[in-house]
């Protein structure tokens, strides 16, 4: 069965119109979550608390690294005059010290990640709630994050980063860092 040409042409012309109509209803905005996080209420305080809590860990790692460097430098200076069995013992000692340093670094990094998460969670929840509120109020179908580096080009008029920061600072009291009383 053959379909008359005018019906096919009519159907083809109506498709782009419906696509344009759907496209006109789609509202898109973007923001930079890193900029928002830096400007959010409580973010600086949370970062200061994190830095304070990490001071001891940083000192400990610096001390361990210095001890390892000293041990390795001393070995390098004496290596030529050491007996083979003493040389092997020193190399084993350096290797063990390095393994302890690496293990402690990994352990302290995990602790740091946990502390950062605990301190930042209330702030991230405020930001997410504000973005969702603004998405609903603005009728946005989609809000993209420029910090994810997936936006190739965009009209600066679609950037709502500053609007989010302004609203966060206007409506939300600073979130106390989770680790403080």
Kindly report, residue by residue over 12-38, the tens digit of the pLDDT: 444 454 444 555 689 999 999 999 999
DSSP 36-60: HHHHSTTHHHHHHHHHHHHHHHHHH
Longest CA span, the chain: 99
Kindly report, residue by residue over 130-177, the tens digit of the pLDDT: 999 999 999 999 999 999 888 888 888 999 999 999 999 998 665 555
Query: What is the per-residue pLDDT for 25?
Result: 80
Q: What is the mean pLDDT of the chain?
A: 85
Q: Are strands 142-145 and 28-31 parallel, antiparallel or unpaired?
A: parallel
Are residues 112 and 176 in contact, defined by beta-carbon separation less than 8 angstroms?
Answer: no
Are residues 40 and 168 in contact, defined by beta-carbon separation less than 8 angstroms?
Answer: yes
- 6-15, 52-61, 82-91: lowest mean pLDDT where? 6-15
Helix (H) or strand (E) holding 170: helix 161-171
Kindly report, residue by residue over 84-143, the tens digit of the pLDDT: 999 999 999 999 999 999 999 999 999 999 999 999 999 999 999 999 999 999 999 999
Query: What is the per-residue pLDDT for 23?
Result: 53
Are residues 30 and 151 in contact, defined by beta-carbon separation less than 8 angstroms?
Answer: yes
């Amino acid at each position: 069965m053959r379909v008359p040409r005018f019906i096919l042409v009519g159907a083809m012309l109506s498709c782009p119109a419906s696509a344009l109509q759907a496209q006109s209803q789609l509202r898109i905005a973007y923001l930079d979550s890193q900029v928002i996080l830096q400007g959010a209420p409580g973010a600086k305080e949370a970062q200061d608390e994190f830095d304070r809590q990490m001071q001891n860990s940083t000192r400990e790692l610096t001390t361990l690294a210095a001890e390892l460097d000293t041990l390795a430098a001393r070995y390098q200076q004496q290596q030529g005059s050491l007996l083979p069995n003493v040389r092997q013992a020193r190399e084993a000692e350096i290797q063990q010290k390095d393994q302890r340093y690496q293990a402690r670094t990994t352990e302290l990094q995990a602790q740091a990640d946990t502390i950062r998460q605990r301190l930042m969670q209330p702030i991230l929840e405020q930001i997410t709630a504000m973005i969702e509120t603004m998405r609903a109020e603005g009728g946005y179908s989609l809000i993209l994050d420029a910090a994810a580096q997936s936006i190739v080009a965009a009209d600066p008029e679609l950037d709502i980063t500053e609007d989010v920061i302004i609203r966060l600072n206007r409506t939300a009291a600073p979130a106390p860092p989770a680790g403080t009383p």
